[in-house]
A and B are shown apart, each in its own frame.
Chain A
Amino acid sequence: MFYREAGDFKTTYREDMQTFPIRLDRRAYWMIVVLAFVVAPFVVNDYWTNAVLLPFLVWATAALGLNLLTGYCGQVSLGTGGFMAVGAFAAYKLMTAFPGMNIFFVVLLAGVVTAVVGLLFGLPSLRIKGFYLAVATLAAQFFFVWLFNKMPWFYNYSASGQITAPERTIFGILVTGPSAAPAAKYLFTLTILFGLAWLARNLTRGRTGRSWMAIRDMDIAAEIIGVNPLRAKLSAFAVSSFFIGVAGALFFTVYLGSAEVTEAFGIDKSFLVLFMIIIGGLGSILGSFLGAALLVLLPVFLKNVMVDILGWETYIAAHLELMIVGGLIIFFLIYEPHGLAQLWRLAKEKLRLWPFPY
């Protein structure tokens, strides 16, 4: 059987509107879910879990969040790093102030705190658009890095200015702290990402998602058919910041363990996430995953090839890596502004008619 829609008939609107209309897609999806939840924790070794899978999951969460705002609602944000910092510091303060609180709720509450902060920084979007808005969100980025450096209350007056995540458990299994098993960290992060991705899909398929996309594509027309621009934009900022806050909390508590704000949540992180969604595909949930996967895996892959296989010096490899990633971004901006997700969509369209040209 070919991979295509033809011959896969739908008899109800419910079937027609499902997330994966093609049968093979549905099978692939469930296979990936089973692989990720059941097989991977036992098969993948600790190095790979820590160096590849965990950062991929965290960045995918952040990319998903930014994609909701930039890809779906069309509001460019360069404040991702700052909002991740808010999530991380909120998680830290919650963990130290309420030691009994379950880490799961700590992460979610950190997301809620970030959502409120994001809402405030979304207010300028009501008056300004495009580049100007990007600059306004850039202010958030610098403001939070400054704030978390200058106000010792946020890092509990520790001498180094660093925050360190205490050990926390879920069902009696350690998920944070240096002695937590990588597989446990992985499953914890994966579960949250899975839930958030499902949430993102639901929000983007209905009324809210359409009002975001309407604002993105033509705000005047959106208003005339009854979209309240204030509500649409602010809800996009809030939901997006929630995702990014959760990503920041996970990044700090589960992945890094301890963090220093300037280094962990600098402007480079804002750009990294933006590149992820540009390469992956703006306005696509699959794209957020593909972009995160590419930008997390590519450096590891390049390093493996250049240093371990070709035997080049590390610094040459590091510089080449920057050039290759930069080149890729330019390539995508020029040839496929809708990213990997669009390539996938086009492939599907070609396959629909294959082997005939039209």
Chain B
Amino acid sequence: MTSEAITHGGAMNPEGDGWVTPDGRHIGPVVLEVKNITLRFGGVTAIKDISFDIREGEIRAIIGPNGAGKSSMLNVISGFYHPQEGEIWFRGQKRPPMKPFQVARQGIARTFQNIALFKGMSVLDNIMTGRITLMRSNMVDEAIWWGRAEREELAHREAVEKIIDFLEIQHIRRTPVSRLPYGLQKRVELARALAAEPKLLLLDEPMAGMNVEEKEDMSRFILDVNDEFGTTIVLIEHDMGVVMDLSDRVVVMDYGKKIGDGPPDEVRNDPQVIAAYLGVSHE
């Protein structure tokens, strides 16, 4: 732990379970830890004995060439895949095998590499659906509507409007998402994930296929989310500039194995990482 802090150039906090980054953000204790995860599909080993931790308040990037197992890793964390070996510890407790919706209820939200919005619904409804884990009214309340269900709906609407303001999508509230351009759809998906007020937010290539301007916007939103809501973020991204600028620590994967882990500057100069990305010359 201490060594990590030193490589960050940050000062340890008084409790000794985190540090302050050079730009003044507080990195707290470990929120989620994966231990020795191995995931196989038949004979193919997608993830091989990977361990890393995610600390409260940090932006943690997972990088690696195509097919390295990054998305599989996210799918393991969000409960889509169940690894054959290894453990996941969330907020100090070992997590039993869970279905994705149970993981969501624990406070882990995510976005998808390919947009996975509800195409038949408006932007507002999509984001409102994101708050489903926070809604408490039962079907009888809802059938009657007056009273509890309506009060709850109004309260959630207000919270959703804050997110809409935050992500600057007021003008498209009522638009069916299928009519929106790609960049905005990505933003709505982020809004939907944020609506759940997650402790941990997993972003699978949030900037894939975007132009520079859209990437800048998205980077700004990610930093703002981290800063204002204190949300811990795990980020998979191919744009190295973005990764190096945004993230506090980076996990590097290649062929299902972890080949690097540390702050961006350290990872950038790691010969193994350079080899994986640029190839090595065999003289």
Contact = CB atoms under 8 A, between A and B. Distances in A.
Contacts of B149: 202, 206-207
B117 interface: yes
Interface centre among A13, A203, A229 (most CB of B within 10 A): A13
Interface in B154-199: 154, 157-158, 161, 192-193, 196
A268 interface: no
A23 B119 CA distance: 28
Interface residues of B, number: 40
A210 B121 CA distance: 9
Interface centre among A221, A222, A226 (most CB of B within 10 A): A226
A227 interface: yes
Interface residues of A, number: 30
Given A225-B109, A227-B101, A229-B101, A218 B116 contact: yes
A226 B118 contact: no
Interface in B94-124: 99-101, 103-105, 109-110, 112, 116-121
B144 interface: yes
A314 to B, nearest CB: 43
Interface in B8-40: none
A55 B139 CA distance: 29
A214 interface: yes
A207 B118 contact: no
Given A207-B132, A211-B132, A217-B121, A223 B101 contact: yes
Nearest to A202: B145
B142 interface: yes
Given A206-B145, A211-B132, A225-B132, A13 B119 contact: no
A235 B140 CA distance: 12
B137 A207 contact: yes
A4 B110 CA distance: 38
B118 to A, nearest CB: 4
B212 interface: no
Nearest to B195: A225
B128 A210 contact: yes
Contact of B100 (A211, A224, A235): A224
B280 interface: no
Contacts of A221: 112, 116-118
A220 B133 contact: no
B201 to A, nearest CB: 12
B242 interface: no
Contact of A199 (B80, B137, B143): B143
B274 interface: no
B130 interface: yes
B120 A208 contact: no
Contact of B143 (A14, A16, A202, A225): A202
A173 B161 CA distance: 51
B132 A217 contact: no
29 contacts: A14-B150, A17-B154, A17-B157, A199-B143, A202-B142, A203-B139, A203-B143, A206-B145, A207-B137, A207-B149, A208-B139, A211-B132, A213-B121, A213-B125, A214-B132, A217-B117, A217-B118, A217-B120, A218-B116, A222-B129, A224-B109, A224-B110, A224-B112, A225-B109, A226-B101, A226-B104, A226-B105, A226-B196, A227-B129
Interface of B: 78, 80, 99-101, 103-105, 109-110, 112, 116-121, 125, 128-130, 132-133, 135, 137, 139, 142-145, 149-150, 153-154, 157-158, 161, 192-193, 196
Given A206-B149, A208-B142, A224-B104, 13 more contacts: A13-B158, A202-B149, A206-B135, A206-B137, A206-B142, A207-B135, A207-B137, A207-B142, A207-B149, A217-B120, A217-B121, A220-B116, A283-B120
Interface of A: 13-14, 16-17, 199, 202-203, 205-208, 210-211, 213-214, 216-218, 220-229, 235, 283
Q: What 8 A-B pairs have minimum CB-CB distances, sorted nearest first?
A: A226-B104, A226-B133, A217-B118, A221-B116, A202-B145, A223-B100, A207-B135, A210-B129
